[in-house]
Structure 1
Amino acid sequence: MGFERKRLTGLHDVLAGHVERGGVPGLVALVARGEQVHVEALGKRSLGGGPVGRDTLFRVSSMTKPVTAVAALILLEEGRLRLDDPVDELLPELAGRRVLRDPHGPLEDTVPAHRPITVRDLLTFRLGSGLLMAPPATYPIQRAMDALDLGQHAPRPALPPEPEEWLRRFSTLPLIHQPGERWLYNTGSDVLGVLIARASGRPFEEFLRERIFEPLGMRDTGFHVPADQLDRFTTAYAPDPANGGLTVYDEVGGDWSAPPAFPSGAAGLVSTADDFLAFGRMLLGGGRCGGERLLSRGAVELLSSDQLTERQKSSSMELFPGFFDGRGWGFGVSMVTRAAELGHPVGQYGWDGGLGTSWAVDPARGTVGVLLTQRCWSSPRPPAVSGDFWTAMYAALAD
């Protein structure tokens, strides 16, 4: 059982409306169930530019996080990492951490960490450091992160230094909370990328290519767009609060047109809808896609299981109020634990990208959904085009 053709027309109409009204310049939407795949490619790669195609390249930003988590799980299954081991041996820069007495307070007012940071802390975003959901420069630690060009804000690949220097700079800062105490978004995936490189003895980007992208046929996924493929790339736009329109966030020949010094495990990748379909099918297949097994079924179940306690959720700096009402967090993905809105049934898991993308799999229904746009979100809450996509996708299922 796949999709009802008549209702797929409804999916098209909903998405076309967002493009026609100027909500997004262009998009690619892909819905798959079993062998049935339906794709909508609508609008332009840039305002006034050429048409979007199924193979158009987008900045997937935080959709990088699940890929980084899978890379770590590969090393865990090979015994080169262990979930509850301290990271100190491979990342000695992070040994003997100090922790802010008060997140609002000066960086010098610290106490010793109660315990070391573990691999599990990085995977679940409980290492004690991350993005604070407040306006820029609200907290002293925010100002310090920005001054060190650690990239803990909207992705700008040209800013952060190479991994060794990035980790050295990061290690000069105290943690915001005790390890294991709270969920804090984003930074765990960037530290995890450095850990993966040291544990594997390979640059992070090479490990991803050799162990994930090539086996799954994800030919268009990487940390930059080669010069001969830039004609498939989109211009990224951000909302312009001054006039309600759009302003350029990144040009086609901008930050993602050359390899970055720091390949961000949190938000660095560019990709296509079909590449993330392959990634999703691997997870739906219990770690196998076609003849390739990347992970065991147990590793996929661990990745997609809620790893947070109720206390950790209630004390966390959420992306937005109520984020954890009906949601959990696993390894690089969020999962639905209580049905509270259309398009997000219990058991669905995946993640979004704040530069305009969304991806999820649903094991119970055997579906993969991918939405790629080039309009940055204006807040951590998903925009209307994202909610409408997921609602229309599930409305089209033939049950």
Structure 2
Amino acid sequence: MTQASVTAGMDCQRLARITDFLQRDYIAPGRLPGTLTLVARRGEVCYLEAQGLRDIERQQPMTRDTLFRIYSMTKPITSIALMQLYEQGRFLLDDPVHKYIPAWRNLQVYKAGVYPAFMTTPCQRPMTIRDLMTHQSGLTYGFMNRTNVDAAYRELRLDGNANLTLDTLVDELSRLPLEFSPGTAWNYSVSTDVCGYLVQLFSGMSLDAYFQQHIFAPLGMHSTWFQVPQDQLHRFAACYEYQPGDGMRLQDDPADSPFVRGHGYLSGGGGLVSCIDDYYRFAQALANGGELDGARIIGRKTLEFMRLNHLPGQCDLPGYSVGAFSETPYEGTGFGLGFSVKQDVAKSQTIGSTGEYGWGGMASTNFFIDPEEDLLMIFMTQLIPSSSYPIRQNLRAIINAALVD
């Protein structure tokens, strides 16, 4: 092996298997429109490849500057924002949420019935801010399609509608029951949207302005927004939806997308559009312990705390989750303050390291950071739902196989 074929301790020829894998198994058969994949180690980009199309209908190629709906990859950004305010002494993690949202003082837990005629029982204890950050709050998502509570979310369109704001979300949630008493289970939910509301409350700034001033500008993230500017629309990818038989159909046309038309809902749980270079700067700052190019967005010890497993008894998600959906495979995986955290590599059945953390988005985007190997990956595409194919596990196998020192 020549020196030129190794970058930051990674075999470049082995990394090139990513290109072959995605072209052979996903792009050529029409299972994905296109992909953009980045692998970095020790702060150096080792692999960056755009493949296929970002817009099939217009035959626009995937390019490095393509803009993607990152959906739930917004959540780590919101979590960092909230913990920045924690570092300023604005709150404690075990503070009850009703201390800051008084209307939530008497939240109840679902017992029986359908909206609006619910039978409820009192919570065993108040919901805390840590419950929100770890999805142990008892909140849910309407798209879960699992309970009478999430049916109420759908009826009220709390996953997003033209009239929804963070204020109206918090107000509506004050009148709905929780799925379980806080701290007794894990369920993927609108919790991180409520965290975004708290960022606004503690900072006195709108969420988009806070992100811009305290994360995006310091890190040089110039192409991350809640709404795509008109002069950047040419970069915006189309989004597709999986169809039975490994097909797909157009789900969101970039020319007529809610992300372009504008809306008042600043979703800290899933509202951002970004490009791979911007998200790389965010991920590399985390990989560096909270700073990039002299700009520190979070303290080293704070980040170490965030990427611990905060589930009770160090259990993994299968042992504590009441829902079937997440943006990570469950086995061997715990959850921290805004990230999934790998606890048991063998149990996960996917190559990696203990302590690997990250998250994904509804349109199949994904990132992970492996502190042990000083390694990170960002994968961008636009196919809903993220559970359509096991690409994330395949990519980890290929990437970890390229490590040579």
Asked if these proteins are the same fold (TM beyond 0.5), I'd say: yes
Task: Report the equivalent of 1:214.
Answer: 217
**1:9 CA displacement:** 2.0
**Larger deviation: 23-32 or 282-291?**
282-291
Query: Partner letter of residue 324 of structure 2?
Result: L
Task: Report the equivalent of 2:335.
Answer: 329
Deviations 1:141-189 (A, max 9, x none): 12211111110xxxxx554512212211121101111111111112210
Deviations 1:269-304 (A, max 9, x none): 111111121111111111111111111111101111
Residues 198/284 of structure 1: CA separation in 2 closer, same or farther (3 Å cut) = same
Check conservation: 2:166, 2:193, Cα contact below 8 A: no
Query: Partner letter of residue 113 of structure 1?
Result: C
Matched, 1:377 2:385: yes
Any idea what SS the aligned residue of 1:45 has? Answer: strand
Check conservation: 2:287, 2:371, Cα contact below 8 A: yes
Task: Report the equivalent of 1:192.
Answer: 195
Check conservation: 1:107, 1:141, Cα contact below 8 A: no
Any idea what SS the aligned residue of 1:179 has? Answer: coil
Which structure 2 residues correspond to residues 357-396 of structure 1 after superposition, within 5 A? 357-377=365-385, 379=387, 383-396=389-402
**1:320 CA displacement:** 5.2
Any idea what SS the aligned residue of 2:383 has? Answer: coil
Residues 101/167 of structure 1: CA separation in 2 closer, same or farther (3 Å cut) = same
Task: Report the equivalent of 2:322.
Answer: 317
Query: Partner letter of residue 247 of structure 1?
Result: R
Identity among equivalent positions (%) equals: 33
Which structure 2 residues correspond to residues 43-54 of structure 1 after superposition, within 5 A? 43-48=52-57, 49-54=59-64
Check conservation: 1:28, 1:54, Cα contact below 8 A: yes
- Give the whole-Å Cα distance in 2 for the aligned partners of 1:398 and 1:207: 41
Out of 278, 297, 300, which is 1:297 matched to? 300
Task: Report the equivalent of 1:63.
Answer: 73
Task: Report the equivalent of 1:13.
Answer: 20
Deviations 1:340-374 (A, max 9, x none): 33343322100011212010111111111000001
Any idea what SS the aligned residue of 2:202 has? Answer: helix
Any idea what SS the aligned residue of 2:118 has? Answer: coil
Task: Report the equivalent of 1:240.
Answer: 243
Extract structure 1 runs of 4+ deviating beyond 6 A.
Answer: 103-106
Matched, 1:79 2:81: no
Task: Report the equivalent of 2:102.
Answer: 92
Matched, 1:346 2:354: yes
Query: Partner letter of residue 256 of structure 1?
Result: F
Q: Which runs of 5+ in 1 are unaligned?
A: 152-156
Query: Partner letter of residue 249 of structure 1?
Result: Q
Task: Report the equivalent of 2:364.
Answer: 356
- Give the whole-Å Cα distance in 1 for the aligned partners of 2:202 and 2:121: 30
Query: Partner letter of residue 297 of structure 2?
Result: L
Query: Partner letter of residue 8 of structure 1?
Result: L
**1:108 CA displacement:** 2.4
Out of 35, 39, 46, which is 2:48 matched to? 39
TM-score scaled to structure 2, two decimals? 0.90
Query: Partner letter of residue 248 of structure 2?
Result: L
Task: Report the equivalent of 2:11.
Answer: 4
**Larger deviation: 349-358 or 123-132?**
123-132
Query: Partner letter of residue 299 of structure 2?
Result: S
Query: Partner letter of residue 48 of structure 2?
Result: V
Query: Partner letter of residue 343 of structure 2?
Result: T
**1:324 CA displacement:** 3.8
Matched, 1:142 2:161: no
**1:122 CA displacement:** 0.7
Task: Report the equivalent of 1:154.
Answer: none
- Give the whole-Å Cα distance in 1 for the aligned partners of 2:325 and 2:264: 31
Task: Report the equivalent of 1:121.
Answer: 131
Q: Which runs of 5+ in 2 are unaligned?
A: 1-7
TM-score scaled to structure 1, two decimals? 0.91
Residues 272/284 of structure 1: CA separation in 2 closer, same or farther (3 Å cut) = same
Task: Report the equivalent of 2:403.
Answer: 397
Higher relative contact order (CA 8 A, sep 6+): 1
Residues 8/244 of structure 1: CA separation in 2 closer, same or farther (3 Å cut) = closer
**1:390 CA displacement:** 2.0
Residues 384/182 of structure 1: CA separation in 2 closer, same or farther (3 Å cut) = closer
**1:81 CA displacement:** 1.9
Out of 262, 270, 274, which is 2:273 matched to? 270
- Give the whole-Å Cα distance in 2 for the aligned partners of 1:302 and 1:398: 30
Residues 173/105 of structure 1: CA separation in 2 closer, same or farther (3 Å cut) = closer
Any idea what SS the aligned residue of 2:51 has? Answer: strand
Query: Partner letter of residue 253 of structure 2?
Result: E
**1:107 CA displacement:** 4.7
Check conservation: 1:239, 1:378, Cα contact below 8 A: no
Matched, 1:169 2:172: yes
Give me the CA root mean square deviation: 2.2
